């Protein structure tokens, strides 16, 4: 289970799954989306209340799979016995269980990355009890998604609905394998949309549901009444570790993006970035700007030559919506743009000096300049043992940092002098009074000296130190 810092709540892992029915609004993974406005209707009689979910389950359940992952780890010797020269390190097999969804008939399956992460042996068990070894086509830790492939054909599939037409209150089903007891179906509603203050990463917006989901459900599907995959269940929030009706699913749009990247031969997902630093419009900000109510996000800064800059967005603009969907915090803005593919046209409505405007920005990958130039430092110097990389928006977003940050980032420390003073995530700003913006500048500043004055940034704070080796 994963734990997130929400009032000491525990986070459990989940799962569910489903397959495309004849009335589905989604399309198979090879095609595009067709998203007509669905007809929603509450039960109008006692007879309708007694209606069954069985037809949806019957179509969806065959595309649910169980996934087991195993890895061999070296077990440490008890220090007590080690003092007497006894005991040898032993290999121990660790395993994890989860669920997955078949999204293409030739054996393409999507699941959570944490289900298979580190796995050296991955096995997929179908609903009819057939088992297949699986290989990983793509793993995306940021989105907690992984795409697998098994050697099988003519499999039942589940169509992905990546649209924005879902509403709070819509009925949903969760199908998976909680606690390894076997395939299980639970029902509930969409409790909330666009949840951003949970999970990890700032580019994701989760679907919240009260459908019961428990450890072992990870990687399964959240299914609507058309039998389409609208989200991949990923985690819950709970004081006990069991389901209390607060579960979260990765939206279908993100799932589709990752699957399409894998099928296109990609090994990593490149999510477009608008190129703005923004903050939520509060009541105070709204008053100072003459707005009748708080809405949208205020642009604080625009990155040069980004999608926003080319669309002529500017500091002080208030972005109200993306593709017609309201945007009220920076995470939602990043998610709405990031769910596109590079080259897509993104419609942005914004307010500038009281007037409303619309612009069509072209989604683009975050700039990767300066080049990454990742290196491990080995000389006799303060950063000996550290791995460093040039910061760019692409690198910062990949590592979950600030895309507007500049400098040289420490990504890893493997012993050496650096282990005593620094930690991954530190940004090197200056050495001996010289500003540092690239790895090459850092190495030059460290050369031919035995004393160094170093300035770093750690968690937004400036830290200075003097070293002599």
**Nearest-angstrom CA–CA distance, 230 and 220:** 11
Helix (H) or strand (E) holding 3, with range, is: none
**Nearest-angstrom CA–CA distance, 103 and 119:** 22
Domain boundaries, the chain: 1-28+56-268, 276-362, 375-468
Phi-psi region at 296: left, alpha or beta (left = phi > 0; alpha = psi -120 to 50): left
pLDDT over 80 at 234, yes or no: yes
Contact 338, 203 (CB under 8 A): yes
**Nearest-angstrom CA–CA distance, 355 and 99:** 49
Q: How far is CA 47 from the centre of its chain?
A: 42
> What is the per-residue pLDDT across 26-49, written as a single tens digit (0 to 9) for each?
656 654 444 445 566 666 677 766
pLDDT number for residue 246: 87
Contact 139, 114 (CB under 8 A): no
As annotated, the active-site residues are 114, 144, 218
Alpha-carbon torsion (6, 9, 15, 16), positive or negative: negative
Contact 15, 248 (CB under 8 A): no
Contact 119, 96 (CB under 8 A): yes
> What is the per-residue pLDDT across 90-126, written as a single tens digit (0 to 9) for each?
555 555 688 999 999 999 999 999 998 887 889 999 9
Fold agreement between 276-362 and 375-468: yes
**Residue located via tokens 């593919």:** 341
How far is the CA of 140 from the CAs of 45, 275, 282, in angstroms? Answer: 46, 22, 34
How far is the CA of 15 from the CAs of 95, 107, 294, 382, in angstroms? Answer: 17, 19, 37, 46
CATH class of 375-468: mainly beta
CATH class of 276-362: mainly beta
pLDDT number for residue 436: 93
**Nearest-angstrom CA–CA distance, 173 and 158:** 13
Q: Please state the length of the chain.
A: 469
pLDDT number for residue 455: 94
C-alpha closest to that of 142 among 220, 206, 201: 201
| Angle (CA) 189 195 197, round 5° | 140
Rg (CA), the chain: 25
How far is the CA of 432 from the CAs of 424, 453, 457, 469, in angstroms? Answer: 21, 5, 15, 14
> What is the per-residue pLDDT across 72-85, written as a single tens digit (0 to 9) for each?
655 555 555 555 55
pTM, two decimals, is 0.77
pLDDT over 90 at 358, yes or no: yes
> What is the per-residue pLDDT across 167-186, written as a single tens digit (0 to 9) for each?
999 999 999 887 777 788 99
pLDDT over 50 at 21, yes or no: no
pLDDT over 60 at 401, yes or no: yes
Whether omega before 370 lies within 30 degrees of 0, making that bond cis, reads yes
pLDDT number for residue 88: 53
Instruction: Grade residue 86 by pLDDT with cuts at 50, 70 and 90.
Output: low
> What is the per-residue pLDDT across 431-454, written as a single tens digit (0 to 9) for each?
999 999 999 999 999 887 788 999
pLDDT over 70 at 412, yes or no: yes
3-state secondary structure of 442: helix
Phi-psi region at 241: left, alpha or beta (left = phi > 0; alpha = psi -120 to 50): left
**Residue located via tokens 């913006």:** 437
Cβ-based neighbour number of residue 263 at 10 Å: 17
Which architecture characterizes domain 1-28+56-268 according to CATH? Beta Barrel (2.40)
Tokens of 175: 């199908």
Contact 427, 400 (CB under 8 A): no
pLDDT number for residue 201: 53
Contacts of 398 (CB under 8 A, 6+ apart): 142
């Amino acid at each position: 289970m994963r734990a997130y810092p929400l009032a000491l709540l525990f986070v459990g892992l989940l799962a569910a799954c489903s397959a495309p029915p004849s009335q589905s609004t989604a399309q198979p993974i090879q095609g595009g989306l067709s998203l007509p406005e669905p007809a929603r209707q509450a039960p109008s009689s006692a007879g309708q209340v007694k209606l069954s979910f069985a037809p949806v389950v019957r179509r969806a359940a065959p595309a649910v799979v169980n996934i087991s992952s195993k890895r061999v780890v070296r077990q440490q010797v008890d220090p007590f016995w080690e003092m007497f020269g006894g005991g040898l390190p032993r290999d121990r097999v660790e395993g994890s269980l989860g669920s997955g969804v078949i999204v293409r008939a030739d054996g393409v399956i999507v699941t959570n990355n944490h289900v298979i992460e580190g796995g050296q042996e991955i096995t997929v068990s179908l609903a009819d009890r057939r088992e297949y070894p699986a290989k990983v086509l793509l793993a995306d830790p940021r989105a907690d998604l992984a795409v697998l492939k098994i050697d099988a054909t003519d499999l039942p599939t589940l169509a992905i609905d990546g649209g924005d037409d879902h509403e709070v209150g819509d009925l949903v089903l969760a199908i998976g394998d909680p606690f390894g007891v076997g395939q299980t179906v639970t029902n509930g509603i969409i409790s909330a949309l666009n949840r951003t203050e949970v999970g990890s990463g700032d580019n994701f917006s989760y679907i919240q549901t009260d459908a019961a989901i428990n450890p072992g459900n990870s990687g399964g599907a959240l299914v609507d009444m058309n039998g389409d995959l609208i989200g991949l269940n990923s985690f819950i929030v709970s004081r006990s570790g069991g389901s209390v009706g607060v579960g979260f699913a990765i939206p279908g749009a993100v799932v589709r993006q990752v699957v399409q990247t894998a099928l296109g031969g990609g090994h990593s997902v490149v999510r477009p970035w608008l190129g703005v630093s923004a903050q939520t419009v509060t009541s105070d900000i709204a008053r100072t700007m003459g707005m009748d109510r708080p809405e949208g996000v205020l642009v604080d800064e625009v990155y040069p030559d980004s999608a926003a800059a080319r669309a002529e967005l500017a500091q002080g603009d208030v972005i109200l919506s993306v593709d017609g969907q309201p945007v009220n915090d920076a995470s939602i803005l990043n998610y709405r743009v990031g769910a596109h593919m590079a080259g897509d046209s993104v419609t942005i409505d914004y307010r500038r000096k009281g007037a409303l405007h619309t612009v069509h920005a072209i989604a683009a990958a975050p700039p990767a300049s300066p080049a990454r130039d990742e290196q491990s430092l080995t000389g006799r110097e303060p950063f000996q043992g550290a791995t460093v990389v040039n910061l760019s928006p692409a690198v910062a977003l990949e590592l979950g940092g600030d895309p507007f940050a500049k400098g040289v980032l420490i990504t890893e420390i493997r012993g050496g002098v650096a282990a005593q003073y620094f930690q991954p995530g530190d940004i090197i700003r200056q050495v001996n009074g010289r500003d540092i913006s690239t790895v090459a500048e850092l190495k030059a500043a460290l050369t031919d000296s035995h004393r160094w004055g170093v300035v770093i940034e750690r968690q937004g704070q400036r830290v200075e130190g003097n070293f002599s080796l």
